[in-house]
Amino acid sequence: MTFNNSINSFNNFPLIRLRRNRKFEWSRNLIKENNLSVNDLILPLFIKEGNSESEKIESMPNVFRHTIDKAVLICNQAYELGIPAVAIFPVIEDKLKSEDGKESYNKDNLICRSISEIKNKVPNIGIIADIALDPFTTHGHDGLLINGKIDNDKTIDILIKQSITQARAGCDIIAPSDMMDGRIICIRNALEEEGFKDTQIMSYAAKYASSFYGPFRDAIQSSQKLLGNKKSYQMDPANSREAIQETALDISEGADMVMVKPGMPYLDIITKIKNEFNIPIFAYQVSGEYSMMRAASENGWLDFNGIMEESLISFKRAGADGILTYSALEIAIKLNNS
């Protein structure tokens, strides 16, 4: 049997030719199942002390630690491009770090001053603030380290104070990334009691103990201080059913939206959560993912905008409603010009 005869032996051929719909760009656009827009993007920002300075992060090319005044300018640029929100992370000076991370709930700390200034100068952009102790502790952990172990419940007491402090500063979305059990209900109740009933909670519901976080720890300057690892509270990369249970608990405790972190290695987790729950789901394209793609492009091996846009549409295809990505500004410019 010849090749042509073999093809013609199928009853559906030539009636069904899927390539017909792919022939022209306008046709491909008509049948596109998923679309990436500027509304899907959240820009993470690292903020440091000082004035009029943007400091390079060696392990994250084209990403910087900004002083508050510089961060305001970046936020204004993001707003003008149509990016809905920024997620801010503080770079805390060593002299302010302690074993108990008490600087995290100082009302005049770097993160609170950043929130207030951004909200004052760029009032219509959403502000997401991280809730965890790792930027503030001498040991680099997300919780209180007592006798060599993370104390879940005592950590929650600090996280509540941190959440209320950031809400008072004007934060729109509280984002607990610490992975302590029960912290969502405790934070939600505290926000209600303090009159912040409209402050949203974006729970890092499925945050894995990943090797992709290295450049982020460089960015906030905690990598050299981390004692041990975070495997006792962050999720095992081998587990997926556990992510469903974690998400179910956080939803029941009052989370308004949930996060999966990292992103691309955990697309299956995004899809499983999307299929299970009717709640907004966000993905964090973490520092290691970003830096790998940036490094490959800088070596001429891959086209950065091409692979970045393809990676972001994979999040949408998996079921994510939005994506935290360090490339948000570049991709927003590309989308606006397309």
**Are the C-beta atoms of residues 313 and 266 closer than 8 Å to each other?**
no
**Are the C-beta atoms of residues 160 and 186 closer than 8 Å to each other?**
yes
**326: closest CA among 49, 52, 57, 126?**
57
144: β partners: 151
Q: What angle do CA 178, 184, 187 make, to 5 degrees?
A: 100
The DSSP result for 64-89, as a single string, is: EEEEHHHHHHHHHHHHHHT--EEEEE
157: which 2 tokens?
A: 């007491």
Whole-number Å distance between alpha carbons of 256 and 251: 7
**Are the C-beta atoms of residues 125 and 85 closer than 8 Å to each other?**
yes
226-231, long-range: CB < 8 A, 24+ apart: 226/134, 226/139, 226/140, 226/141, 227/139, 227/140, 227/141, 227/145, 230/141, 230/142
With a CB cutoff of 8 Å and minimum separation 6, the contacts of 194 are 164, 167, 168
Residues serving a catalytic function are: 207, 261
> For residues 88-105, b (16+ Cβ closer than 10 Å) or e, as one string?
bbbbbeeebbeebbbbbb
**323: closest CA among 124, 80, 36, 76?**
36
**258: closest CA among 213, 324, 160?**
324
CB count, 10 Å around CB of 249?
16
Asked whether the CA dihedral 243, 325, 38, 184 is positive or negative, the reply is positive
